[in-house]
With several copies, the nearest count.
Chain A
Amino acid sequence: MTEPDPDRDLEMEKSLFEAPPMAEQERMVEAILFATADPVTLRELIGRMPHGSDPARALEHLRRRYEGRGVAITRIGEAWAIRTAPDLGFLMQQEVVETRKLSRAAIETLAIIAYHQPVTRAEIEEIRGVGVSRGTIDQLIEMSWIRFGRRRMTPGRPVTFVVTEAFLDHFALENARDLPGLSELRAAGLLDNRPPPGSEGPEEGEGAGEGDAQSGLFDDT
């Protein structure tokens, strides 16, 4: 049926006053539906095809032929059109990926979370010495680089942040503990998270120390 028909022209010739064969009618419906700028009604098909054609039947053949294909013969009200198969709609979207460097605020926040996890927002702000915007945290969460850890057992039960596996993946780390320079920084006493003088030191939870810092990573709260 899909073979080109060498006798086609001959047949067309002799059938000037009779309807072309069904296979030919199917081709015609296919071409008309393809090229017409709007869905085509049956009446329109009848008007455009040679006298005596049966476009309803041709359309039915064609519809079956396109079953399961990348496009489908679709009925739209009283008219017919060829449309993309619903499951392939995603091909009609083209994602343009734009790569940008993470902002300074975001990278600093991320670094603090990586080195100090689990860490609360208040702690991040204390370490950075500057406020952390909601947007920065949201951005890092959206990138799947940080997630919520368990709540801190201190007044107000603040939420903590930890880095994710996606983060480890991106930076090719087995573990946040592997962060280069972490031990060196600690040896230099630079990782001491001293409470600001005079404060009651809300971070007694920190006392659990390093083990805790890492375990937070794989605990699903």
Chain B
Amino acid sequence: MSDDEFETAPTDVAARLAAEALIVDVDGFEGPLDLLLTLSRTQKVDLREISVLALARQYLAFVEQARALRIELAADYLVMAAWLAFLKSRLLLPPDPEEEGPSGEEMAAHLAFQLERLEAMRGAAAKLMARDQLGRDRFARGITEDVSRVRRVAYTATLIDLMQAYARIRTKDEFRPYAFDRSNLLTLEQALERMRPLIGFAGDWTDLTSYMPDGWGGDPVRRRTATAATFAASLELAKEGSIEIRQGESFAPIQIRRKSP
């Protein structure tokens, strides 16, 4: 880096130019590890034999300069500076047996490993990009033919399907789906329809059975459905507040009357 220049030519202009150069440089670095890798090249040794201590000094000096020149450094760079300052102290001071954590040597070794690994990945990236690339050195087919997809529907049926279908047709008269026989059924709607106009006259208590439609009292099946429907209709009317219901005791006749408004 340009340490020397600052000392030999501390003029304002030179300082400003250097400061600008530094800003450009910091921008050009891909983070503190990249900066360290660049600084380490000045040692001109294999990364495995690098002096991490010297590297830490260089880095800290760089950060000092940047500070002196009021250059805003990204937090990453400052974190690295703090870590390197710590590493430097560990490397310089005799190890404190009381202190926990990794030794300075371990930390230094890891930093060296990181630098070597980053450099290796740089090399790998360069080799990768130097390969014959598709669309630059090698080319795919220019005239392509579309594969047309022909949709075909295959219908299937099993023997069981076939037999069941046949049995269904041939036996449909015997086994038709179960359905209510509507001729002997009085519905709730029918009972309601019948009771509504009648209750207007029921000023006094009247037996519920008197509301049953004519002709539904004889046959037991018809009587049961008519009773149930009429009773259900009376409950419906009571719910809407049109009538009152009473029953003297269990199984006693049920009586209704119009509710006075």
Seen from chain A, the residues whose Cβ lies within 8 Å of a Cβ on chain B are: 31, 34-39, 48, 81-86, 89, 92-102, 104-108, 110-112, 114-115, 127-131, 139, 143, 169-173, 179-181, 185, 188, 190-191, 194, 196-198
Q: Which of B34, B151, B163 contacts A96 (CB 8 A)?
A: B151
B162, CB-defined interface residue at 8 Å: yes
Instruction: List 7 additional contacts besides A96-B135, A104-B30; criterion CB under 8 Å.
Output: A89-B137, A89-B139, A92-B139, A93-B148, A94-B149, A95-B150, A111-B166
Q: Which of A105, A130, A198 contacts B76 (CB 8 A)?
A: A130
What 1/0 flags go to B153-173 for Cβ under 8 Å of A? Answer: 111111101110111111110
B131, CB-defined interface residue at 8 Å: yes
| Interfacial chain A residues near B118, Cβ < 8 Å | 127-129
Verify A96–B136 contact, CB threshold 8 A: yes
Closest Cβ–Cβ distance, residue B210 to chain A (whole Å): 47
Contact A181 B139, CB 8 Å, known A101-B155, A129-B114, A171-B133: no
B244, CB-defined interface residue at 8 Å: no
| Interfacial chain B residues near A115, Cβ < 8 Å | 121, 124, 166
Docked complex Cα distance between A89 and B135 (Å): 9
A–B complex contacts, Cβ < 8 Å, 27 sampled: A35-B147, A38-B142, A81-B140, A83-B134, A83-B139, A89-B132, A93-B150, A95-B149, A98-B153, A98-B154, A100-B156, A106-B157, A107-B162, A108-B121, A108-B166, A108-B169, A111-B162, A127-B117, A127-B170, A128-B169, A129-B169, A171-B134, A171-B158, A172-B159, A179-B128, A180-B127, A181-B163
Verify B145–A179 contact, CB threshold 8 A: no
Docked complex Cα distance between A107 and B129 (Å): 8
Contact A169 B139, CB 8 Å, known A37-B144, A130-B30, A181-B163: no
Docked complex Cα distance between A197 and B118 (Å): 18
Verify A95–B142 contact, CB threshold 8 A: yes
B106, CB-defined interface residue at 8 Å: yes
What 1/0 flags go to B219-236 for Cβ under 8 Å of A? Answer: 000000000000000000
Verify B155–A110 contact, CB threshold 8 A: no
B7, CB-defined interface residue at 8 Å: no
Docked complex Cα distance between A37 and B165 (Å): 51
**Interface of chain A: mostly helix, strand, loop or mixed:** mixed
Docked complex Cα distance between A102 and B150 (Å): 20
Contact A129 B151, CB 8 Å, known A112-B121, A172-B159: no
Docked complex Cα distance between A83 and B125 (Å): 23
| Interfacial chain B residues near A95, Cβ < 8 Å | 135, 139, 142, 149-150, 152
Q: Which of A48, A94, A108 contacts B122 (CB 8 A)?
A: A108
Q: Which of B103, B131, B156 contacts A101 (CB 8 A)?
A: B156
| Interfacial chain B residues near A39, Cβ < 8 Å | 143
Verify B159–A171 contact, CB threshold 8 A: yes
Q: Which of B33, B101, B107, B162 contacts A171 (CB 8 A)?
A: B162
Name the residue in B32, B101, B141 with the highest tally of chain A Cβ atoms < 10 Å from its Cβ: B141
Verify A82–B125 contact, CB threshold 8 A: no
Docked complex Cα distance between A87 and B65 (Å): 51
| Interfacial chain A residues near B137, Cβ < 8 Å | 86, 89
Name the residue in A36, A115, A129, A190 with the highest tally of chain B Cβ atoms < 10 Å from its Cβ: A129
Contact A100 B124, CB 8 Å, known A89-B136, A92-B148, A197-B107: no
| Interfacial chain B residues near A170, Cβ < 8 Å | 133-135
B177, CB-defined interface residue at 8 Å: no
| Interfacial chain A residues near B218, Cβ < 8 Å | none
Docked complex Cα distance between A108 and B133 (Å): 17
Verify B125–A110 contact, CB threshold 8 A: yes
Verify B156–A128 contact, CB threshold 8 A: no
| Interfacial chain A residues near B110, Cβ < 8 Å | 194, 196-197
Chain A residue at minimal CB-CB distance from B113: A194
Verify A100–B155 contact, CB threshold 8 A: yes
